[in-house]
Structure 1
Amino acid sequence: MPHDAAPPRLLTQNRRLRAIGVHNWTLPAWAGRLPDGRTYSTCPSAGVCRQVCYARHGTYTWPVVRARHQANLALVLDDLTGWETRMIAELGHRRFAAGAWVRIHDAGDFFSDDYLTAWLRVCRARPAVTFYTYTKEIDRFRRLVEPDPPPNLRWVYSLGGTQDEAIDLVADRVADVFPDEAAITDAGWHSQSSSDLHAVQGPRLVGIPANRIPSAVNRMNRRRFSEWQAESGTGHLRTVPTDSAEREAA
């Protein structure tokens, strides 16, 4: 895909994030094929989540939206240095003045070390902006981010992937997808429904109510992503809080 197919602005705002003043960067979800025939996997550690991923339904499947996300990915794959330069320049605009928030990945994940490292340089180049992300790339973050994280980067380890067993529920900030709000409350976790920023600003254990896509509801069968992933034979959690006090002991 030619680089001039990339959109003039890299960052966008979907309806939900616009409501809380957050800009976002998006890749195609999970796996697919670019128009030039190349195959890709943007979520290499996806587990059961890929079966019910919200970013593989609805508006994300519209041709114009899919083309936009694929153009983003092609730019990263073909010219990571150029993408980084453009991203840093765009974040220098006055609309990203002190107090601005950017969610990295409305869909997709940090699919390579080089790509994650480029984002770390972007974060450090724009300290006035706060970046946040959900990720299932636990090993990559342990190696490349945790030893020396940019002060303006917040992250949440997201359950439902093949690396669930590397997540420590006692120490890490963690998100799990639940069947509904009642299930989040019953588990003693804290919902991010009213604002996605609760995932990085609120209590450490974050509950996300499942999208009410009928096929997804049926496949989840009242299970949390972490439970469903464990049933698949991979991703058993290392530690499981047993009561409310332990859940909040961080």
Structure 2
Amino acid sequence: MPEEGPFTTNTQRPRRLLTQNREMRRIGAWNWSIPAWAGRLPDGRPYNTCPSAGICREICYARHGTYTWPTVRAKHHANLMFVLDDPPGWEAAMVAELERRRFQDAWIRIHDSGDFFSDDYTKAWMRICRARPGINFYAYSKEVDRFRRLVEPDPPPNFLWVYSLGGAQDAALDPATDRIADIFPDENAITAAGWSSQEASDLLAVLGPRLVGIFANRIPAALRKLAGRRASNWQAEIDAERVARRPESHVNGT
């Protein structure tokens, strides 16, 4: 029986793990995708692939548009189920796929949706990077604590990352030392803040200046929620409101 679509006919595990859209093709990069943020798999299991998400979940491009199409959602669910149900098999399949000539000297964006949701999953990706030294890997992440513990002490030489603001761990980031990305309402706001835009190429997020400005996606509902603010500013407002709602005894530590 011939195979159909991106899945094998009997196990429903993806035959092709990495994809490439028009933007990635232009810069010689490929994507690895899992579902964004929280939901349920087809078998009913709940998941949260972005445990440190904050206000970003309200404006996330990966929860709109083509990402919601049934075939795309099914592919991302299949990818995540492969990771969860057979971690060694998924890791071996990824290393094997990356052996193909098309990936040599290419860039792999780990997660155009989703994040490094567990320690074991993060460690697996670091092993994959080391297993394929001729390939360049990069990622955005809000998992600051996880990266501080597992990645920063000894990162693979071929892996670059940028921390993105708008998450639950924003306070742990230092603009003076960390490579950081923030979402701005428009290009003028990026320039006015003295940050550098990655609009010309997504690779500028890890290859350009350390403070990275991202132009907000043209999603009407998301733009209304952003209301002209930077993602970091909106997150700071939410965090301050949360502190203000705490009982006085808790705030004072008594």
* TM-score in terms of structure 2 length: 0.90
Between the aligned partners of 2:172 and 2:160, the Cα distance in structure 1 is: 18
Is the counterpart of residue 7 in structure 1 residue 14 in structure 2? yes
Partner of 1:78: 85
Matched-pair contact (CA < 8 Å) for 1:162–1:234: no
> Could you tell me how far 1:4 is from its partner in structure 2?
2.2
- Which AA in structure 2 matches 1:48? I
> Could you tell me how far 1:114 is from its partner in structure 2?
0.3
Residue 24 of structure 1 aligns to a residue whose secondary structure is strand
Partner of 2:218: 212
Between the aligned partners of 2:230 and 2:68, the Cα distance in structure 1 is: 25
Match of 2:157 among 151, 167, 177: 151
Partner of 2:60: 53
- Which AA in structure 2 matches 1:218? R
- Which AA in structure 2 matches 1:128? G
Match of 1:135 among 123, 130, 141: 141
Q: 1:25-174 counterparts in 2 under 5 A?
A: 25-97=32-104, 99-174=105-180
Matched-pair contact (CA < 8 Å) for 1:6–1:68: no
Q: Residue deviations 1:88-111, cap 9 Å, x none?
A: 0010111112x2110000000000
Between the aligned partners of 2:94 and 2:64, the Cα distance in structure 1 is: 27
Instruction: Give structure 1 stretches of 5+ with no counterpart.
Output: 236-250
Question: Which stretch shifts more, 88-97 or 155-164?
Answer: 88-97
Partner of 2:249: none
> Could you tell me how far 1:5 is from its partner in structure 2?
1.2
Residue 112 of structure 2 aligns to a residue whose secondary structure is coil
- Which AA in structure 2 matches 1:41? N
> Could you tell me how far 1:234 is from its partner in structure 2?
6.0
> Could you tell me how far 1:6 is from its partner in structure 2?
2.1
Partner of 2:31: 24
> Could you tell me how far 1:61 is from its partner in structure 2?
0.3
- Which AA in structure 1 matches 2:225? R
Between the aligned partners of 2:240 and 2:64, the Cα distance in structure 1 is: 25
Between the aligned partners of 1:15 and 1:39, the Cα distance in structure 2 is: 31
Match of 1:191 among 184, 197, 203: 197
In the comparison of the two structures, how many residue pairs are matched? 235
Residue 11 of structure 2 aligns to a residue whose secondary structure is helix
- Which AA in structure 2 matches 1:105? H
> What is the root-mean-square deviation in Å for CA atoms of aligned residues?
1.7
| Structure exhibiting the larger radius of gyration computed from Cα positions | 2
Paired-residue identity, %: 68
> Could you tell me how far 1:39 is from its partner in structure 2?
0.4
Query: Where does structure 1 differ by over 2 angstroms across 4 or more consecutive aligned residues?
Result: none
Partner of 1:200: 206
Residue 44 of structure 1 aligns to a residue whose secondary structure is coil
Partner of 1:239: none
Instruction: Give structure 2 stretches of 5+ with no counterpart.
Output: 1-7, 242-254
Between the aligned partners of 2:208 and 2:44, the Cα distance in structure 1 is: 43
- Which AA in structure 1 matches 2:184? F
> Could you tell me how far 1:33 is from its partner in structure 2?
0.4
> Could you tell me how far 1:232 is from its partner in structure 2?
0.3
Change over 3 Å in CA distance of 1:17–1:234 after alignment to 2? farther
- Which AA in structure 2 matches 1:197? L
> Could you tell me how far 1:17 is from its partner in structure 2?
1.1
Question: Which stretch shifts more, 122-131 or 8-17?
Answer: 8-17
